[in-house]
Each structure stands twice: as structure tokens, then as C-alpha cells.
Amino acid sequence: MSVVIKVEGLSKCYRLGDISRKMLYEDLQRRWARFRGKQDPFSFINDPKAAQRAEAREVWALQDVDMEVRDGDVVGIIGRNGSGKSTLLKILSKITAPTKGRALVKGRVASLLEVGTGFHGELSGRENVYMNAAILGMTKQEIDRKFDQIVDFSGVEKFIDTPVKRYSSGMTVRLAFAVAAHLDPEILIIDEVLAVGDAAFQKKCLGRMSEVAREGRTILFVSHQVAAVENLCTRGVVLENGKVKFTGAQSDAISYYVGSFTQQSSSLRERTDRQGNGQIRIVNIEFRDPDGRTLTTVQSGRDVDVYLFFENDTPAVERPALWVHIQVKSGLDVPVFSQSNLMTGESFEPLLPERGAFVCRLRKLPLPSSLFRLNYIVNNAPVGGTLLDRMDNAVELPVEGGDFFGSGQIPDAHEGVCLVAGDWRVQADAVSSSAPAPAPATVGT
Amino acid sequence: MNSLPPQKGRSEGLAGENTDERPRAAACKDSSPANCATPEDLSEWTQVLSPDRGWFDLRLGELWRYRDLVFRFFRRDFVASYKQTILGPLWFFIPPIFTTLIFTVVFGKIGQIPTDGMPPFLFFLLGNTAWTYFASCLTRSATTFSGNAGLFGKVYFPRMVMPLSTILANLLTFAIQFGLFLALYLVFWLRGSPIEPNWRIVILPLLLLQMGALGLGIGCIVSALTTRFRDLAYMIAFGTQFWMYASCVVYPLSQIPREWRWLFILNPMVPIIESLRFAFLGGGIVEMWHLAISAAITLVLLFIGLVMFSRSEKTFMDTI
């Protein structure tokens, strides 16, 4: 097995901010400096001050990414939003060039960042197949050869000479995917946007992709859906903030990815991923039982107090509408529920002490045994206020199975991410509203 | 860098067989010394994606491989253009006829601009048809990046495919409209109008090529500049209008005082339109050196345009 994609020190920098006259001015200054053989006035080598200035205006979507993909690998690239997955994909599919480093590719690459690129409503299905396939890099001979297969796969033979604008959206997508599915590159780059659509279509996409994978083609699949990566890929690469954090077998990569949400072990006080002006900061979060005992794990169905210890630098400032919000998310980053003093309609004293804790009691914790995480927001006012402090994935909330239903049954996390109390009974005289209605009572008697 | 030609088809001659020294040397020259430490390493890769922007890297081979796509886009533009209109292909003829009528009335009758003995209607029609072809080459190439950002952001193909296909479509439109000109020309000729076609009409294809190249060149310059700053995109709309009035479309060059003619010769469109009139209608001022200057300016602008285009096509998606 030979290496077909070799990525060496790949970095990509984006400039932030508006494109404006100021930018034109900077561009001209850079050009002028380069023309005279001087150093770039906005480069930040040897100048820490400039470095700060520049850092605020530039963002590195990818930083020193090294990676090798071998022939026949099916690699899942996973990472949260903003981790650089899409940027990597764009560079590999030649949509944009890297800022530093390079990527070497062996063989023909086809990238599917979207199905149906270049479809035109006025043209017939047949013409659109040719159009779309040509955009994706097929030659006319190849398309001629595969045309029947493509139409067969799409199931729209009857309408192949009808303008595509008369198609239902499902037909369009099927036709578009049929073209994509019959590309014949050595390397296929697929974005997860491909996996939108109804469940049946997703299944078909994934099915076709695993077929392609079995044929020994190299596939790069980008997703933050762990399930899709699990089904399709043999190897995984985890990206985080533009850097490769893990490379290895698919299952190891997934467990690393899921684990990475909770590995931020440093204490809250030292965390650097805060947002907000910091006039009030949450410096520690603890879970306690109603008797005030600190808990390391919380049990399903028990009452629990969430203590958000704060430090207030501005004790003299009145904050009549202070809003404290917590959100609990599952291990796969799905929000489960939120709580805030706005929801419960409670407001705090306008003057807060320098130190203290916001305490929220969660009654009868409706979470099954699993590892959850907590986000919080402290804001001056619920609407239009200044953000004081905010952190995502501030702490983890380990939940142990408990007797939530009071029946001795310990609910399993696989049955759902939250628990709802309920009652069951049999009602003999119940009538379905869709059943023939009983004779209406006569009005007036 | 990117100077290794993409291989056609699957797995043919990717590695060992293709040990031609030339691409290796070229790759080495362009890249930084660090990358050059193992130059033999690069020849087995089909593509090298790096920040280096080719200074003048047209990659004609790649463009040739995508010739089908040029044809597809051309067809799409053309087929889809007058769908769902009642008059359909008549729309190819309506704008030139009405514009020419307006020109004839406003400039010919009211403005009393002499046409050097050529029938005014044919005079204006020929100028307008040629100008329309050039102007649409220019404006369509100028919106290559901004108008196709959605497509370019999703898939890679040589970006030059887009302007080339629109130039083809414009050529076909020109051919149709020129057919109209020829038909009316025949009518005027049969009725004994003083028009003198001469052998110089063989120059027509060359002039068409030149107008296409000029439109493409300026279009590429504008297109490359508008990836960051959109100002030029607004300028282009009234700029072409303005340029038309400076290009002898509604008056002959003979109307310009002799001491100012040199300025008009510097406008590459003036000799083109004057030559067309001279070839078909037998009037106008054409000298070889006018055409030479015009051709030279065209080549320079085309060259600058292609350089700017190839320099910006790799990263324009970041700023557009």
C-alpha cells in the first residue's frame, strides 16, 4: 500500500474583518515594502507587539497539519465546528491554496462537497447529467459509457428528457447523486453535507460509499456525525482548532473525539476559552446534594444543586436584570436541556457581592447514566445585554444510574438522553378520535 | 508551482515510466530550496498543492482536458438563454435592430453626424453589432469570479473554462446578429446603395479574435481585482457605455479633428471598428500602423489579464 496523499506542515490563514479601504491601504503598504525589499510591515516575526495586532486580525484555520493517507484507506476526518475540517477539504480539492506547507496527491481526485453542482433548471435531465459529470471532471467518453448506469441508478429514466425544473426535489437529488456515485477517481473526497436528505436517501448514499470503499478506492470523509464515520471509515483523524490531535484506527479516533470534549481538566479559573468582558467570572462549578455535600457524580432522579462560584470585580454596579444560564449537553454535543433564572422568573439582588455562588437546584435530575457536559452564560440582561462571562464545556457532569422512576428500574443511556416521568394504565372505554364518532348529543336537550 | 501536468485517466504512467527531467526541473525551480531537497520525490505525485502561485501558469493541458466542459457551459448558456420567452430566438435580433434605429434617428437624423457616404443604418448596425460582441465578452469575463463563486466554492475545474465558454456563446450570438447585418446588407446592395465590399473582409475572423482577446484580457484584470474590492464591478457597467462613445461606434473617425486622432488610435477598439466598416462598407480611415498598435495593446492587456487571473485563481475563494 503506497501513500496517495501526503500532507506536510499544511497551514491556512484567513484574514478577519471587513474588506474595506483600510485593507486596500494595508495591501498597498505590503506591496510597497516587498517592492523595496523590506520586511512585510504586518508580518510579526521579531515584533511581539505586531504579533498581537496581527493575531487579532488573522485566524489560522489549519496549523501544521501532517497526515498520510494510504491507498485504499477510508479515512474519517472528525472534529467540531471550526476545527478546520472543511478547510482541509477545500485545500485538498484545490478550491483554495494553503498559506504554508504543501499537500502531495497521487491519482485523480474527485471531491463531492455538494451534489448537483451546476445543475440548471432549464436543461433536461440528460443534459444536466453530462453537465454535472463534466464539472466533476469526467470526460465525454466516460460519461457516454456510464450514462445508462447513471440513469438506472437514479430511477428517473422516464423523465430524462424533461427539464430538471419540473422534477421534484427528490428526483433532482437522486439524479445528482447518481452522477456523483459513478465517478471513478482514485481518491474521493466527501463532505458530510452529502449525507443530508431523508433517512432512506442517507442510507443509499452511505451504502454506495461503502461499496466504493470496498472496491479499494481511497476515501476521505469529513463529518461530525460519529455514527457515519463509524459505519464507513477504517481510519480516523481528529482535528481540533486546526491541528491534528489524533490519527489512528477509526474506533480509537472516535473514542478520542468523544473523550476530547471532557478532557479539559485544568481548573475553570485558568481556562482561556472564556468569552465576555469578565466583570463577573465563574471560577468554579460544583455539584452538591441538598444537604450541601459535594458530589463527584450525580445520580439520576435525585435533586442536585449546581453551584456556580463567581468573582465580581464591579460590586458597585447594579445589575437588576442579571441572567445566568446553564445548558447540559450529551457526550455527542447534543443539547439536552437548559436552565436559567429567566426561565424560572427569578431575579437576583441588583448589587452582587465580590464573591459568592449562583445556585441552581435541578429537581429530580432527568438524565440517564452517562457523561454530560455543562455550558454556562452570565449576561447583564437577557436581551441586548453585555456578555459578562461564557464558557462552553465548562465542566463535565458525570451521571450515575439511579432509581428515577421509583420502580427499581435503572434506565440505560442507550434508551435516550433524557428521562421523563410517566404513568401507565389501561382504559377500557377509550375511543380513538379517528374511529367512527358516537352519535352526537342533540343540542338543547 | 503546480507545474506537474495532471495525469489523464487512471493509474497510467503516474510514477516510474514518466521520468522526464523537464517537469521535475520546473517544479524545482519554482519551489523553495527546502522542498527542493528531494526533487526526484515530486515526480511521482500527480498534484502538488502549495501556496506558491505560478507567475504565469496557464496550464493549457488541463484546460484542454476540460474542453468538454467549455462546450457544456457554452451550450447551457445558449440553450437556456431564451427559454420560456414567447419571441424566443427573435430576441437575438430585437436589441440590435432597435438600438440601430435609435442611433440612426438620434445621431444620424437629429445629430446630423455624417457617415462618410455609407448608408447610416448599415453604418450603425455594423458598429453596434461588433461593439455588443466586444462588450459582452468584457462584462461576462469580468464577472467570472464574483458571478460563479457558488460553483467555484464547491468544485475545482480550471477557472478559465468559464470566460472561454462565454466568449464562445458571444461568438455565436455575434454570428447570428451578423447574419442579420448581411441580410440587410444584401437588401441595400440590391437596391443600389453605394457600398463597396472589398477583399479586406477576410480580416473579419482576425478582428473577432482580437475583440475576444481584448474583452477577455480586460475582463480578467477586472475579475482578478474584484475578488477583493468590488468597486470595479460597478465601474464596468457604465465604463463600457462610456467606452462605446469613445470608440467610433456612433460616428466615423474622420469626424475627429486631425490633431486629436492619435488619442483615438490608442483606443484599440477604434481601428477594429473602422476596419470593419472599411472592409464591408468601403468608408473609414484605416492604416496598418493603427491596427498594429491596436493589436499590440490587445496582446499586452491579454497578457496582464492572464497573469492576474492565474495569480488570483488559487485563493480568490478566501476573499470573495
Q: Which residue has the higher pLDDT, A27 or B65?
A: B65
What is the ipTM, given to two decimal places? Answer: 0.73
* Cα B208 off chain centre by: 9
d(CA A33, CA A28): 9
Residue A227 confidence (pLDDT) above 50: yes
Residues B30 and B96 in one domain: no
Domain ranges in chain A are: 3-19+62-260, 268-415
Is the domain A268-415 a CATH 2.70.50.60 member? yes
Residue-wise pLDDT tens digits, B111-148:
888 888 888 889 999 999 999 999 999 998 998 888 88
Of B6, B51, B76, the CB nearest to A123: B76
Q: Chain-wide mean pLDDT for chain A?
A: 81
Residues B167 and B221 in one domain: yes
Q: Report chain B residues whose CB lies below 8 A from the CB of A24.
A: 228-229
Residues B198 and B149 in one domain: yes
Inter-chain Cβ pairs, chain A and chain B, closer than 8 A = 123
Whole-structure pTM value: 0.69
Tally of domains within chain B = 2
Domain span at B87: 60-319
The residue-averaged pLDDT of A292-303 equals 86
Q: Which residue has the higher pLDDT, B52 or B87?
A: B87
Residues B271 and B127 in one domain: yes
Q: Which residue has the higher pLDDT, B7 or A85?
A: A85
Residues B34 and B69 in one domain: no
Residues B90 and B217 in one domain: yes
Residues B144 and B183 in one domain: yes
Which of the listed ranges A106-115, A201-210, B246-255 does the model predict with the highest average pLDDT? Answer: B246-255
The residue-averaged pLDDT of A218-229 equals 76
Of A6, A113, A134, the CB nearest to B72: A134
Q: Report chain A residues whose CB lies below 8 A from the CB of B80.
A: 120, 122-123
Q: B9 to chain A: nearest residue by CA?
A: A108
Q: A101 to chain B: nearest residue by CA?
A: B50
Put simply, the answer to whether B53 touches A106 (Cβ < 8 Å) is: no
Residue A251 confidence (pLDDT) above 80: no
Q: Report chain B residues whose CB lies below 8 A from the CB of A99.
A: 51
Residues B16 and B96 in one domain: no
Put simply, the answer to whether B156 touches A94 (Cβ < 8 Å) is: yes
Q: Which CATH superfamily is domain A3-19+62-260 in?
A: P-loop containing nucleotide triphosphate hydrolases (3.40.50.300)
Residue-wise pLDDT tens digits, A38-67:
666 555 545 555 555 555 567 788 888 898
Residue-wise pLDDT tens digits, B275-284:
998 888 887 8
Residue B12 confidence (pLDDT) above 60: no
Residues B33 and B82 in one domain: no
Gap from B143 CA to chain A (nearest CA, Å): 17
Helix (H, G, I), strand (E, B) or coil at B143: coil
The residue-averaged pLDDT of A59-80 equals 86
Q: B65 to chain A: nearest residue by CA?
A: A139
* Range name among A174-188, A305-319, B46-60, B117-131 with the lowest pLDDT average: B46-60
Residues B150 and B38 in one domain: no
Query: How would residue A297 be classed by pLDDT, with cut points 50, 70 and 90?
Result: confident
Residue B317 confidence (pLDDT) above 80: no
Residues B64 and B35 in one domain: no
Residues B24 and B138 in one domain: no
Residue-wise pLDDT tens digits, A348-386:
888 889 899 999 999 999 998 888 889 999 998 877 788
A39-78 residues touching B, CB cutoff 8 A? none
pLDDT of residue B19: 34
Query: How would residue A270 be classed by pLDDT, with cut points 50, 70 and 90?
Result: confident
Residue-wise pLDDT tens digits, B16-73:
333 333 333 333 344 444 444 444 456 777 778 877 766 666 677 888 888 888 988 8
Task: Note whether A3-19+62-260 and A268-415 share their fold.
Answer: no
